[in-house]
Amino acid sequence: MTVTRSTASFAVLLCGALLLAGCGAPAPSASPPEATRSLDNCGRKVEITGDGPRRAVSLNQGTTEILLSLGLADRMVGTATWTDPVMKGLEKANAGVPRLAKDNPSFEKVLEAEPDFVAASFASTLGRGGVASREQFEKLGVPTYLSPSDCVGKDNAGGGDGVRTEPLTMDTVYGEIRDLARIFGVEERGKDLTARLKARVAQAKAGVDASDVTLLYWFSDARSPYMAGCCGAPGVITRELGAKNVFDDTTEEWPQINWETVADRNPDLLVIGDLTRTAQTAESAAKKIEFLESNAVTRNMDAVRDKRYVLLSGQAMNPTIRTVEGLEQVAAALRAFGPSA
C-alpha cells in the first residue's frame, strides 16, 4: 500500500503529540524462552524443552509399556520391537499408537514418523547393528533415552546380551519411570505408578519362603538355549523370593548353556518364557515344553517329570515394569507347588 506525503506527515505529528503516552516506547519484550530441563542418562545428557515430547517413538516394548502406563499414548507416534502382546489394561491405549515394526524398524522408517523424542530399552537397539545410534538421532535434533537397566551396573562392550557388574534391582526400573515422567512433565503419574508397583511386590512375596528352592529361567531357543544368569531381571525375582538360580555363578545376562549342564544342575522349578515372536527356535512355552519332555537329556529332570513349570511373558523376564508380573507369577507357583518344589 502506498503512503501519501500528507498521511505520513500526519503520522509524525500524531506520534509527537502522543509521545508522552508511549508512541515512542520500546516494543514489548519477546516471550521468555521455554524452560529446558536436563537429566543424565547412561553417560549422556538428555535435554527437554517446554512441557515435553509430543511425537515420541519407543523402540522396545519395555519403554512402550511404561509410556502407555503413564497415560502418554496421545503423545506417541510409533512403537517397535515386540516379543509379546501388550500388557493387560493397555490394549486400548496401545491400539491408537502406530506400530512401525514388530522387530527393529529402519532408521528411515522412524524418521518418517517425525519424532521429537526416541526411547529404547536396550543399548543394542540404539547402537551399532540396531535402529541407529543415539548420535545419529541427536545430530537431527532428536533427543534419545536409554533404559538405565541396560547401562547401570552393566557392561555391554562384549558380545551377547552383556554382563552385569552389579545386580539389577527394581529401584533402577523405578528410576526409569521417574525419568520418563519428568521428561514428559507428568511427575505425579510417575509417583503413582511406582507406588502401585511397590505395593504389588510387597504383596507377591509376603509369606513366601523359597530358601530351599532352585530355579532355572529359559528365555528362548532350543538348540543353544538362553538361560538367565545371576543378576538381571530374573535375579530380581529370585532374590525377592529368597530362592536360588542354578546359574547364579555367571554374570552374563543371558548365557547360552548346553542341555547337559542344565540337566546336571536339575532345578526344582523351570521358569519358561512364553514368547509370541519367531526369531529363535522354541519361542512359545508350548514348544519349549514339547522339547523338554521329548529330549533324551532333559526329559528325566525332576521338574520335567513333575511338570513344575511357570510360564512368563518375555517382558516379565526383561528388566521392565512387567518384572513385577513375573515376580507375582513365580510366587504363585511356589505357593501352588509347596515346599517340595
pLDDT digits (tens, 9 = 90+) for 184-230: 999 999 999 999 999 999 999 999 999 999 999 999 999 999 999 99
Quick one: pLDDT at residue 111? 98
Quick one: pLDDT at residue 277? 86
With bands split at pLDDT 50, 70 and 90, how would you rate the model's confidence at 5?
very low
Question: Residue 100's closest CA among 74, 79, 72?
Answer: 79
CATH 2.102.10.10, applies to 36-199: no
Residues 326-341 have pLDDT tens digits of 999 999 999 999 755 6
Rounded to an integer, the average pLDDT of 37-48 is 94
- The strand pair at 44-49 and 36-41 is best described as antiparallel
Q: What CA–CA distance (Å, rounded) separates 169 from 243? A: 16
* CATH code at 208-337: 3.40.50.1980
Rounded to an integer, the average pLDDT of 241-268 is 97
With bands split at pLDDT 50, 70 and 90, how would you rate the model's confidence at 34?
low
Q: What CA–CA distance (Å, rounded) separates 21 from 158? A: 72
The domain limits of the chain are: 36-199, 208-337
pLDDT of residue 174 exceeding 70:
yes
With bands split at pLDDT 50, 70 and 90, how would you rate the model's confidence at 33?
very low
Residues 110-166 have pLDDT tens digits of 999 999 999 999 999 998 889 999 999 999 999 999 999 999 999 999 878 999 999
Q: Which are the contacts of 18, defined by CB distance < 8 A and separation ≥ 6? A: none
pLDDT of residue 7 exceeding 80:
no
Quick one: pLDDT at residue 90? 98
Residues 168, 240 contacting (CB under 8 angstroms): no
Between residues 318 and 7, which one has the greater pLDDT? 318
Cβ-in-10-Å burial (0-12, 13-18, 19+) of 99 comes to middle
Identical fold at 36-199 and 208-337? yes
Q: Which are the contacts of 96, defined by CB distance < 8 A and separation ≥ 6? A: 73, 74
Rounded to an integer, the average pLDDT of 297-305 is 97
Residues 96, 73 contacting (CB under 8 angstroms): yes
Dihedral over Cα of 335, 276, 325, 235: its sign:
positive
